[in-house]
Chain A
Amino acid sequence: MKVGLEIHIQVKSRRKLFCSCNPKDPDESVTEFRRRLRVSASELGEIDPAAAFEMKKGLDVIYLAGNRSSCLVEADEEPPHDPDERSIEAAIKVANLLRANVVDEIHFMRKIVIDGSNTTGFQRTALIALNGRFMFRDRQVRIQTICLEEDAARLIEKGNGYVKYDLRRLGIPLIEIATEPLELSPKEARDFAESLGRTLKLTGLFERGLGTIRQDVNVSMEGGGIVEIKGVQKLEQIEKVVEFEEKRHRWLFEVASALRSRGISEESFRDVRPKDVSELFRKYSQVETVKRFFSGSAFALRAPGFKGLIGSEPVE
């Protein structure tokens, strides 16, 4: 099993990456405004399908803008200012610490994000350095990239047809350090993240406390796909996440081999047609579990050869 880690850590700075707001300042007033994001049909293919679906349905994004913790830049009502020099310096220092090749020119890019967590609909991010190294126990771990990016707004509410975000966190400078995929046990993954995290915090360049460091964990196994788990905040969670993914992968392999031995393939589904079972669901629409996902219509498919497999659990 291979584990790749992306560590995001908040730079200690008195301002945000593209404006002069100090995210620690207390607000005297909060303004609320409402937006909708859209992308053209030709760009839809490059976007996370779930987010694209929400957007097409017409997702209202409500923002809470504090008068001191955010300004017209976060509201996407003013062009970004020059990037924070202190944050660029911090990124270069980290790159040197990890013996990475620092690029000669920094180009900020836009990563399209349409869940509303960025008022612009994209995240500004720049690659600062490539190909670093970090010693973990007796191993030299390759650091693929070191990037400087803006943090996203914090989700505070998700309702029917709308999401609500607080702009205080939007634009806080983050350094992202991405490792190559590593052969690691769940415990080792946790220890590695702890070791790299501690080394970074010792530089004094970063914020401390809950939420100031977040990890994206990529888990892959031979013969399976890559699974990415975003925004893990606690070290214990890393261990659990990797452990769970390992078990889930093994279980999926077992299901696959059981299906193969029963002679089930894509071909077996060729004549399967969906059946309208809305009436049935309507009858039980007051049942709590049904209420949660049923609205309007429901369809069912026969799954030949799946007897005993559906309903089995990856982890006890």
Chain B
Amino acid sequence: MSSSQPEDFSRIKFRLGDAVYEGIVMPRTLYEDKEHITVKLNNGYNIGLRLDEIEILEVGPPQRQQEVVAEEREIPSQGPRVLILGTGGTISSRVDYRTGAVKPAFTAAQIVDMVPELTRIASISVRTVMNELSENMQPSNWAVMAEEVYRAFEEGFEGVVIAHGTDTMHYSSAALSFAIENPRGPVVFVGLQRSSDRPSSDSATNLLGAVVFASRSGAPGVYVAMHEGLNDDLIAVHSGVRVRKNHTSRRDAFRSVNSRPVASVDVRNMEIHFKNETAKGAGPMRLLNRFSERSAIMKYHPGFSEVLLRTYFNRDVFDAIIVEGTGLGHIARKAFPFVKEFIAGGGFVGMTSQCIWGSVRLTVYETGRDLLSMGVVPLGDMLSEVALVKSMWALGNELDLREVMPRNLRGEISERREVE
């Protein structure tokens, strides 16, 4: 009773025990063996069967569906012109639950199909500029995104929404915050934590919140819009240089650190409630979108080996090291010679804290004062990820790091942390 593997999506009739069944052959992933076959039965259930335990009686032609070709088109709608940029990640793809295949779903028509309310808020255009999962995003991708945003404002769009995978979305939002000086309108990053193939997905409400803020806030700057809590009503808008992904799976994974969110969008009535001031820049829009990769975050921990110290504080490889120190900004005494030599060789060492919340302060303890005297630069309450991106940007655009890193440019450093 041995059978060979029929083609994916072909309709087959087979005998199992004393009964005959019909179904469609489903594709198997790379991690599934070839001795079994997955069949979608007529009752809708998928089952896996050993090929040598069934007898295939008939094989019909494949029932494959036509792939949808993505195209850019304007959807008839009203209001401010908003451009949605697709960069890949789960918000811009869709799992076909009949076939299990992931398809890019990023035409304006498909987005409006998913979130029909958008047409009442803004005139939506859509462009897919790359197709990268969030974990694959590199500084070169930030450069492309920044250029696309710059061009969109030149073309007269009033706001830009960037659909992005969530894992590194806060790195990208920081990158664009620095790369576009005085953007003409809001640039809002948006993602989803629960996949868009489920009716409970946060994708539609997040996108709605992002488009509302991009079209109606009148607040130029770079932001991240995601769920504020577990409810499907409020979307928090965070500053692009103040936000961090703080949970692996919850809808409200993104939180503003050392700062209140900028605003909250109520998607039930599309109202924006401002909670914090937005950074107001004056002057012409400028694009500074070069990034260097000669910078890294070094997270210090007990037992940090000399091999690692030598690897990080190596001028042949790095121009800047952002240290995630302990507490107020400390590292072990044994690291001092490496730090000293790196700085003497023209390298930049900036201090942030692995505590995440709070500011570094190097004048409180002796270790801190030693680090200061070596030329380590305290970076206040800037998030380590933001400090990394800022250093990559400053290096790429040949700015003086000692001058620019501790200075607040886009709201990434503040002097006050409120009692909460």
Q: A residues touching B (Cβ–Cβ < 8 Å)?
A: 31, 33-42, 72, 75-79, 101, 103-107, 109-112, 114, 119-122, 125-127, 130-131, 145, 147
Contact = CB atoms under 8 A, between A and B. Distances in A.
Contact of B230 (A77, A79, A114): A77
A131 B18 contact: yes
B418 to A, nearest CB: 26
Interface of B: 16-19, 21, 36, 38, 41, 43-50, 53, 97, 113-114, 116, 193-194, 198-201, 204-205, 229-233, 248-251
Given A103-B48, A122-B199, A131 B19 contact: yes
A106 B48 contact: yes
B200 A121 contact: yes
B38 A107 contact: yes
Contacts of B44: 109, 111
A120 B198 contact: yes
Nearest to A104: B50
Contacts of B46: 107, 109, 127
A121 B198 contact: yes
A24 B17 CA distance: 40
A145 B43 CA distance: 10
A77 B251 contact: yes
6 contacts: A35-B231, A40-B114, A78-B249, A104-B53, A106-B47, A122-B199
A35 B45 contact: no
B113 A40 contact: yes
Given A78-B249, A145-B45, 16 more contacts: A33-B229, A34-B232, A35-B232, A36-B232, A37-B200, A41-B113, A77-B194, A105-B49, A107-B47, A109-B46, A127-B41, A127-B47, A130-B16, A130-B21, A131-B17, A147-B45
Contacts, number: 100
B184 to A, nearest CB: 33
B246 to A, nearest CB: 13
Contacts of B43: 127, 145
A31 B205 CA distance: 21
B356 to A, nearest CB: 21
Contacts of B201: 38
A191 B44 CA distance: 30
A110 B116 CA distance: 24
A112 B19 CA distance: 29
B16 A72 contact: no
A38 B45 contact: no
A130 B250 CA distance: 38
Q: Which of A105, A109, A127 has the most CB of B within 10 A?
A: A105
Contacts of A131: 16-19
A274 to B, nearest CB: 27
Nearest to A101: B17
Nearest 8 pairs between A and B by C-beta? A105-B48, A121-B199, A127-B45, A107-B46, A33-B230, A37-B199, A103-B47, A101-B17
A31 B50 CA distance: 46
Contacts of B113: 40-42
Contacts of B200: 35, 37, 76, 119-121
A235 B301 CA distance: 65
A282 to B, nearest CB: 29
A39 B97 CA distance: 12
Contacts of A40: 113-114
Contacts of B45: 107, 109, 125-127, 145, 147
Q: Which of A33, A77, A130 has the most CB of B within 10 A?
A: A77
A169 to B, nearest CB: 18
Nearest to B115: A38
A65 to B, nearest CB: 9
A75 B251 CA distance: 10
Q: Which of B46, B114, B199, B229 has the most CB of A within 10 A?
A: B199
Nearest to A62: B231
A41 B251 CA distance: 24
Nearest to A119: B200
Contacts of B249: 72, 77-79
B194 A76 contact: yes
B36 A105 contact: yes
Given A77-B249, A104-B48, A122 B198 contact: yes
A33 B252 CA distance: 13
A235 B45 CA distance: 29
Nearest to A131: B19
B163 to A, nearest CB: 16
Nearest to A36: B232
Nearest to A118: B200
Contacts of A106: 47-48
Nearest to B112: A41
B248 to A, nearest CB: 8
A145 B194 CA distance: 31
Nearest to A73: B249
A273 to B, nearest CB: 31
Nearest to B105: A40
Contacts of B16: 101, 130-131
A110 B41 CA distance: 14
Contact of B49 (A75, A103, A114): A103
Contacts of A109: 44-46
A120 B229 contact: no
